[in-house]
Amino acid sequence: MNVGFVALGCSKNLIDTECLIGMFKDNRYQIVNEEEKADILVINTCGFIESAKEEAINTILEMAEYKKQKCQYLIVMGCLVQRYYDELIKALPEVDLFIRIQDYDRLWDKIEDLVKRGIVVKEKKKISKKISQIPQMPMFTQQDFLNRILTTGKNYAYIKIGEGCSNKCTYCAIPYIRGPFVSRPMENIIEEAKGLAKKGIKELIVIAQDTTKYGIDIYGESKLAELLEKLSEIEGIQWIRFLYAYPEGITEELINVVSKNDKIAKYFDIPIQHIANPVLKRMNRRTSKEQIEKLLEDIRKKIPNVILRTSLIVGFPGETKENFEELKQFVKKTKFDKLGTFMYSKEDGTPAEKLPNQIHGNTKKARYRQIMEIQQEISKHLQEQKIGNHYKVLIENMSFDGKYYIGRTMQDVPEIDGMVYIKNTTKQKPEEIVNHFINCKIVEVSNYDMIAEIIEK
């Protein structure tokens, strides 16, 4: 049978999808990219915020249309299913099997029951929305990680070092969707990374909900810095980056490792969410404005060319005009290299859902626009300063007309940050350039992307 997949949401979800693709392939199913050719369609959903839930439902309904043609079975898994299992069974009879995250240890058994015998056991047990009552979620096995089928191309791969989150920010549903933070043993991660290197992967992107928590649960202290060092020793791996480092977990040791190790990207993705202390307190964040400002100052002092990325939430319950003005001034002063902003989304079962002084939707939109306009000017200015700079670029593609090679610098995360378009002036064949590193000089910039020329050796 032919199987097609749709992965929604974050890169952690993508890894889960890759593990499942590996399971199907190991069991001799054919993997297809076109939905109309699939006998089985699998959707891995996100349920983090309202817009993600809407996208997931719309995708399910869209894929259900293929059951009128070739598709025999529609399977839905992931975060949306974990949150709304009973409701989804009632609302979407088009779906043949819903798989909750807490059932991933029996995932293949459930799929076999559906496909081989047509039996679906619909458990009636309600999912509690109280974070403290959620059981620890099982992760995929080490063998599943080793057998996963990469969907990110030949150059980079995500590597998940932990599951779940224990931070319990008041706005976030992750702790009761994915459970508390659980680290993978270091030797398992290293084994997977070595396997990826043997497949030709040049860049590892280390991910977890909060990478700075890695190791605390099994080793008694954060082991992120040590893990990054060990990954850098793997032959073939040339770039390493880690994403989602919460400010309170960034240690001097971690900063020093990033500073001194040439393979580790000088890039910190630090989700601070806000800067006004009253808002941070209501969010149950573990850092203050003063601590955040000092941390950013320390990082920039020790790593002069560091790239700082953050994410912010505007319109959080109780955010006053004064709080928002403080946030605006902070963004102007700090000049983050990269910044993403979200409008607060009221999520079922989270403490923030019940907070007083919820902000009107129009106010959220206005505040969102103001922050992004400020950041757009900052990005434009920072980009202009890059003209004339030399960069090592990993080439990943070629434009349709063949006039440009397309790649990324070490400063850019795939699918999130900008691209470098390099004029094709070389006499080398495309296969000698694509999937290789080249040196180039920036000659032109836009707000996010850059145009460059190859520096001949």
- Residue 403: CATH number of its domain: 2.40.50.140
What crossing angle do the helices spanning 252-260 and 224-232 adopt, rounded to 10°?
20
Average pLDDT, the chain: 93
Q: Is 309's pLDDT higher than 50?
A: yes
In this structure, what are the phi and psi dihedrals at residue 125, rounded to the nearest 5 degrees? -65, 125
Query: Is there a domain that residue 437 lies in?
Result: yes
End-to-end CA distance of the chain: 50
Q: Are 168 and 120 in contact (CB under 8 A)?
A: no
Spatial distance between the Cα atoms of 354 and 360, rounded to a whole number of angstroms: 15
Q: Is 217's pLDDT higher than 60?
A: yes
Q: Are 246 and 210 in contact (CB under 8 A)?
A: yes
Give me Rg for the CA atoms of the chain.
23
> Which pLDDT does position 275 carry in this prediction?
98
Q: Clarify whether residues 316 and 425 are in a common domain.
A: no
Handedness of CA 318, 246, 148, 418 (dihedral sign): positive
Identify the domain containing residue 373 by its residue range.
147-384
> Which pLDDT does position 137 carry in this prediction?
55
pLDDT digit string, tens, across residues 267-297: 999 999 999 999 999 999 999 999 999 999 9
Which tokens hold the place of 14? 């993508």
Residues 6 or more apart whose Cβ sits within 8 Å of residue 282: 170, 316, 317, 318, 352, 355
Q: Clarify whether residues 433 and 330 are in a common domain.
A: no
pLDDT digit string, tens, across residues 119-167: 554 443 443 343 334 445 566 889 999 999 999 999 999 999 999 999 9
Q: Are 49 and 344 in contact (CB under 8 A)?
A: no
Q: Clarify whether residues 251 and 374 are in a common domain.
A: yes
pLDDT digit string, tens, across residues 326-347: 999 999 999 999 999 999 999 9
Spatial distance between the Cα atoms of 287 and 119, rounded to a whole number of angstroms: 50
Q: Are 264 and 228 in contact (CB under 8 A)?
A: yes
Q: Are 352 and 303 in contact (CB under 8 A)?
A: no
Q: Which residues of 403-440 are buried (b: 16+ CB within 10 A; e: fewer)?
A: ebbbbbbbbbbbeebbbbbbebeeeeeeeebbbbebeb
Query: Is there a domain that residue 220 lies in?
Result: yes
Q: Clarify whether residues 366 and 251 are in a common domain.
A: yes
Q: Is 440 helix (H, G, I), strand (E, B) or coil?
A: strand
> Which pLDDT does position 156 carry in this prediction?
98
Query: Is there a domain that residue 133 lies in?
Result: no
Number of independent structural domains in the chain: 3
pLDDT digit string, tens, across residues 193-205: 999 999 999 999 9
Q: Clarify whether residues 328 and 407 are in a common domain.
A: no
Which tokens hold the place of 160? 């998940």
Query: Is there a domain that residue 141 lies in?
Result: no
Q: Clarify whether residues 254 and 172 are in a common domain.
A: yes
Handedness of CA 243, 247, 249, 250 (dihedral sign): positive
Q: Clarify whether residues 158 and 203 are in a common domain.
A: yes
Q: Clarify whether residues 168 and 311 are in a common domain.
A: yes
Q: Clarify whether residues 358 and 426 are in a common domain.
A: no
Mean pLDDT of 170-184: 93
HSE-CB at 444 with a 13 A cutoff on CA atoms is: 5
Helix extents (H) in 65-94: 79-91
Give the residue carrying structure tokens 């009973």. 86
Domain containing residue 229: CATH number = 3.80.30.20
C-alpha of 422 from chain center = 27
Burial class (CB in 10 A: 0-12, 13-18, 19+), 275: buried
Query: Is there a domain that residue 314 lies in?
Result: yes
Last residue of a domain, one of 384, 403, 437: 384
pLDDT digit string, tens, across residues 41-92: 999 999 888 899 999 999 999 999 999 999 999 999 999 999 999 999 999 9
pTM, entire model: 0.93
Q: Clarify whether residues 181 and 57 are in a common domain.
A: no
Spatial distance between the Cα atoms of 269 and 260, rounded to a whole number of angstroms: 18
Last residue of a domain, one of 384, 403, 425: 384
Q: Are 167 and 286 in contact (CB under 8 A)?
A: yes
Q: Clarify whether residues 369 and 398 are in a common domain.
A: no
Query: Is there a domain that residue 64 lies in?
Result: yes
Query: Is there a domain that residue 140 lies in?
Result: no
Last residue of a domain, one of 66, 93, 126: 126
Spatial distance between the Cα atoms of 144 and 41, rounded to a whole number of angstroms: 20
CA 357-80-165 angle, 5° bins: 70
Give the residue carrying structure tokens 């599943």. 144
Q: Are 15 and 204 in contact (CB under 8 A)?
A: no
Of 307, 446, 445, residue with least CA distance to 389:
445
Q: Clarify whether residues 208 and 292 are in a common domain.
A: yes
> Which pLDDT does position 427 carry in this prediction?
83
> Which pLDDT does position 122 carry in this prediction?
45
> Which pLDDT does position 119 carry in this prediction?
52
> Which pLDDT does position 136 carry in this prediction?
54
Q: Is 97's pLDDT higher than 70?
A: yes
Q: Classify residue 264 by its DSSP letter.
A: B
Domain containing residue 61: CATH number = 3.40.50.12160
